[in-house]
C-alpha cells in the first residue's frame, strides 16, 4: 500500500508551525540566512539609518533619568496578561454554552449567531490592533530606560527604534495575511461538518424501515451519535442505554479554540522585542 509522504517538521516559531498545520500547507524552511532575508526587507534609507546607529558615536546618556525597576517589569507583565485575557475572554471566541429558556445573555447571542467568518475576521483584526498598540508603547518605554543607562544601551535603544520603523510595515503585511489563512481553515471545518451531517442523514434514511417505525429512528440516532463521537470525542460522550447527544456546531467550537491558539502564538511573536529589551535592562 502506498503511503503519503510525511511532512517535514518546521522548526520556526509556534505561530508559523500552527498556521502551516491549520492551513494544510507543506511549507519548506527557507535556506536563506537571517542577514540575507533582512537585506531584502530593508530599504536603502533603512540600511543607512541602521549603519549610522551601529557605527556612529553612541548617544549621550541623559542625566537624572528614572532607572529601570520592578515597576517596569510589573507593567510589562500586566500588559501581557491583559492581552491574553482579552483573547481568552472574547465573546466571539467563547465556546457555545447550552442554557435553558430565559437564560439568554449577550455572550450567548454572540456565540449562537449563524456562522459567518466575517465576524471572526473583524475580531481578529481588532485584537491584532490592540496587540500592536500595546507592544509599541512598551517598546518606547523600555527604550527610554535603556537610553538612560550606559552609552552601549543607548545605542541598543537607537537600533531597536530603527528596526521597528524599518520592519514595522513588513510585519504588518505578513501578519495581515493570518486572517485569510484562518478563513480557509474555517471553510474546511464547515464543509467537513456538512459532509458528516449529510452522511448521518443518509444513514438515518437507509435504516428507516416501515415495519419497525419505533426502532429505526433509535438506531439511526445512535449511529449519528457514534459518528459524531468518533470525529470529536470531546463533544459527544456515549452512555450505555442512552442515545449519544449530537452537537452540530462542534466544528465551530474547534475553530474558536484554533483561532485563540493562533492569536496567543502571534502575541508571543510580537512580544519578542519587548523580551529582548527587558533582558538587556536586567543584565546591566
pLDDT tens digits, one per residue of 88-127: 999 999 876 544 444 444 444 344 445 789 999 999 999 9
Cα pseudo-dihedral 189, 88, 232, 121, rounded to 10: -10
- Tell me the pTM: 0.75
The pLDDT value given to residue 106: 42
Q: At a CB cut-off of 8 Å and minimum separation 6, what does 144 contact? A: 65, 157
Q: b/e per residue, 255-271, with b = 16+ CB within 10 A?
A: bbebbbebbbbbbebbb
Taking alpha carbons only, the member of 273, 221, 271 closest to residue 77 is 271
The pLDDT value given to residue 121: 96
The pLDDT value given to residue 253: 93
Low-confidence ranges of the chain (pLDDT < 70): 1-11, 26-30, 62-65, 96-114, 209-248
The pLDDT value given to residue 8: 55
Question: Nearest 5 degrees, angle CA 123-CA 125-CA 128?
Answer: 110
The pLDDT value given to residue 197: 84
The pLDDT value given to residue 231: 45
Domains of the chain, residue spans: 14-24+40-56+66-99+115-179+256-283, 184-253
The pLDDT value given to residue 256: 95
The pLDDT value given to residue 219: 52
Amino acid at each position: 500500500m502506498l503511503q503519503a509522504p510525511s511532512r517535514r517538521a518546521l522548526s520556526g516559531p509556534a505561530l508559523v508551525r500552527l498556521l502551516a498545520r491549520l492551513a494544510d500547507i507543506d511549507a519548506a524552511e527557507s535556506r536563506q540566512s537571517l542577514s540575507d532575508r533582512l537585506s531584502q526587507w530593508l530599504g536603502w534609507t533603512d540600511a543607512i539609518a541602521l549603519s549610522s546607529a551601529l557605527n556612529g558615536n553612541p548617544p549621550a546618556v541623559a542625566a537624572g533619568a528614572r532607572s529601570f525597576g520592578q515597576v517596569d517589569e510589573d507593567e510589562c507583565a500586566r500588559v501581557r496578561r491583559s492581552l491574553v485575557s482579552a483573547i481568552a475572554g472574547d465573546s466571539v471566541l467563547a465556546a457555545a454554552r447550552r442554557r435553558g429558556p430565559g437564560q439568554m445573555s449577550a455572550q450567548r447571542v454572540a456565540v449562537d449567531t449563524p456562522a459567518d467568518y466575517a465576524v471572526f475576521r473583524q475580531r481578529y483584526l481588532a485584537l491584532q490592533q490592540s496587540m500592536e498598540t500595546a507592544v509599541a508603547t512598551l517598546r518606547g518605554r523600555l527604550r527610554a530606560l535603556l537610553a538612560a543607562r550606559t552609552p552601549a544601551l543607548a545605542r541598543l535603544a537607537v537600533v531597536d527604534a530603527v528596526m521597528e520603523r524599518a520592519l514595522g510595515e513588513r510585519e504588518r503585511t505578513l501578519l495581515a495575511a493570518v486572517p485569510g489563512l484562518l478563513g480557509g481553515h474555517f471553510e474546511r471545518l464547515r464543509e467537513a461538518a456538512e459532509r458528516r451531517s449529510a452522511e448521518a442523514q443518509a444513514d438515518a434514511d437507509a435504516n428507516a424501515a416501515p415495519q419497525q417505525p419505533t426502532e429505526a429512528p433509535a438506531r439511526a440516532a445512535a449511529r449519528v451519535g457514534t459518528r459524531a463521537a468518533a470525529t470529536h470525542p470531546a463533544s459527544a460522550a456515549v452512555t450505555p442505554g442512552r442515545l449519544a447527544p449530537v452537537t452540530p456546531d462542534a466544528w465551530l467550537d474547534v475553530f474558536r479554540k484554533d483561532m485563540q491558539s493562533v492569536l496567543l502564538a502571534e502575541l508571543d511573536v510580537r512580544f519578542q522585542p519587548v523580551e529582548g529589551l527587558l533582558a538587556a535592562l536586567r543584565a546591566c
